[in-house]
Structure 1
Amino acid sequence: MSDLVSIITPTFNAEKYIRDTLQSVLHQSYQNWEMILVDDASTDETVKIINEFAEKDVRFKLSRLSKNSGNGFARNVALEKAAGKYIAFLDADDIWFLSKLEKQIQFLKANNLSFTFSFYDCIDEEGNLLNRRVEAPANLTYEKLFFCNYVGNLTAIYDADYFGKITLEATQKRQDWRIWLTILKQIKVTKPVPESLAFYRIRKDSISSSKFKLIKHNFGVYSQFHGFNFVFSVFLMILFLFTQLIIKPVYIKKI
């Protein structure tokens, strides 16, 4: 279907948040979408809530995994089922502004882009604004992305007619960053929609993923994804940390 957007959403024990997430898609001003939800063997009411929406609107499409296989695996399953020209991503605890898809599709076409994203605002577990907006450079190049993942997963859209469906090994960490690197390596530069179009939920359990673990996963991007040797990967991680701690390239604004 022309200009159909396939929204990719893996879910796992998201009963506290999934209703708000689904509502934010249901009420989009751009209505030509399908939402591919793959539940990763939830043990709470997540599936029940999704089915409530799916029974009323066939654009919500749920598949269930028989055993817990991880977010990356569920995302790949969803991608395989996607039929849209455009692929968008939305995690089960995040929320879109109601004009999000409409503004991004218009921006893609007006700027002749095959990939874009937007700024986003941060909320806490209860949905309260945290007075924090994450922005990005007006022109995002592969080189800039190499040392900082500027792209919020919940804001990204790419043209599947141009790139095909981009899947990576399900076990790989920082899978979203690897997807954007794959895209930017091909097209070299893109632009973000220069406004916030989504709410990113910061949860205590996600914060508890220690910074050490994050560093380890980032090291994996250099050593596994890029294929650099150990010594060079260590060197790049030092540059990465310098970029993050000294240059601080992600633009976090108070709002």
Structure 2
Amino acid sequence: MSPLASFVIPVYNGSAYISESIKSCLDSSNKKIEVVVVDDFSTDATVRIVEKMAETDDRVKLIRHGVNMGRSAARNTGIVATSSEILMMLDHDDIALPNRASATIKAFKNNKEVDIVYSQFQIIDELGNVQAKVNVAPFDWEKLKKTKLAYIGHSTMAFRKSVYQMVQYTSGEFCKHAIDDWKFQVDAYQAGLKFMPIRKCLSQYRWIEKKRDEAKILELKNSCLQ
């Protein structure tokens, strides 16, 4: 039976968290899902971990890049490989809560005009302890333009597969500086796609402190807002 929704997980050297992320998808209250994992030429144990999980649950599908192509390319590869019409994005160290798939499927079923949905989420630390909860509001273009990071939590975002015909994830500098999710949201808005918030907590975002080149990020953002 074809899945009703697909999780897409790009991963590079994610052995510390990938099994937890996949398991959270498999534990969805709606079992009619698939989990498409795209390994971007990892050098750690990621592939072995995913292969073992795929052996015990055929809902897990592993795709391997022969060279490192970047997170955006991995996301695009995963999207093309999905078997459903509803695609849920998830980073390899984040968690899908049990009601995410069912709430997402319901939102699209009841709102035919909506292209992209997003939800509330919890912020967790490296050990999985909840640090905060982030609420959502109706989509705000001005806020998206001004925010340093993506206005919408990427691991809460889902869209119809038809969206991919209009918008894809951008590689290169946007991916290198980890704002490819922000660029996707900008491109989707500029393409006239409709966003809708789901006022439920459906995901957990793992906050791991990383150094960021803020000046370069600002330059990249300004380049596509002019």
Same fold (TM over 0.5): yes
* TM-superposition CA deviations, 1:141-191 (whole Å, max 9, x none): 333322233211101011123553632332142111111122223346532
Q: 1:201 to 1:70 in 2, by over 3 A?
A: same
8 Å Cα contact 1:141-1:184 kept in structure 2: no
Name the SS for the 1:200 alignment partner. Answer: strand
Is there any run of 5+ residues in structure 1 with no aligned partner, and where?
A: 229-255
Structure 2 distance, partners of 1:166, 1:56, is: 34
Determine which structure has more spread, i.e. the larger CA radius of gyration: 1
* TM-superposition CA deviations, 1:70-119 (whole Å, max 9, x none): 21222222222223211211111000110111012212322332211001
Question: What is the aligned length?
Answer: 219
1:18-33 equivalence runs, <5 A: 18-33=18-33
Name the SS for the 1:50 alignment partner. Answer: helix
Matched, 1:74 2:74: yes
Name the SS for the 2:191 alignment partner. Answer: helix
Q: CA deviation at 1:208?
A: 2.4
* TM-superposition CA deviations, 1:209-244 (whole Å, max 9, x none): 23xx14422430221x34x3xxxxxxxxxxxxxxxx
My pick for the range that moved more, 168-177 or 88-97, is 168-177
My pick for the range that moved more, 117-126 or 37-46, is 37-46
Is there any run of 5+ residues in structure 2 with no aligned partner, and where?
A: none
1:40-119 equivalence runs, <5 A: 40-112=40-112, 113-119=114-120
Name the SS for the 1:117 alignment partner. Answer: strand
Q: Report the TM-score when normalising by structure 1.
A: 0.78
1:222-241 equivalence runs, <5 A: 222-223=222-223, 225-226=224-225, 228=226
Name the SS for the 1:140 alignment partner. Answer: coil
1 or 2, which has the higher helix percentage? 1
Q: Tell me the residue number matched to 2:211.
A: 209
8 Å Cα contact 1:21-1:96 kept in structure 2: yes
8 Å Cα contact 2:118-2:158 kept in structure 1: yes
Q: Tell me the residue number matched to 1:252.
A: none
My pick for the range that moved more, 142-151 or 101-110, is 142-151
Name the SS for the 2:20 alignment partner. Answer: helix
1:1-12 equivalence runs, <5 A: 4-12=4-12
Name the SS for the 2:172 alignment partner. Answer: coil
Q: Tell me the residue number matched to 1:17.
A: 17
Structure 1 distance, partners of 2:120, 2:192, is: 20
Identity %: 28
Q: 1:188 to 1:164 in 2, by over 3 A?
A: closer
Q: Tell me the residue number matched to 2:140.
A: 141
Structure 1 distance, partners of 2:12, 2:61, is: 15
Matched, 1:180 2:185: yes
RMSD: 2.1
Name the SS for the 2:30 alignment partner. Answer: coil
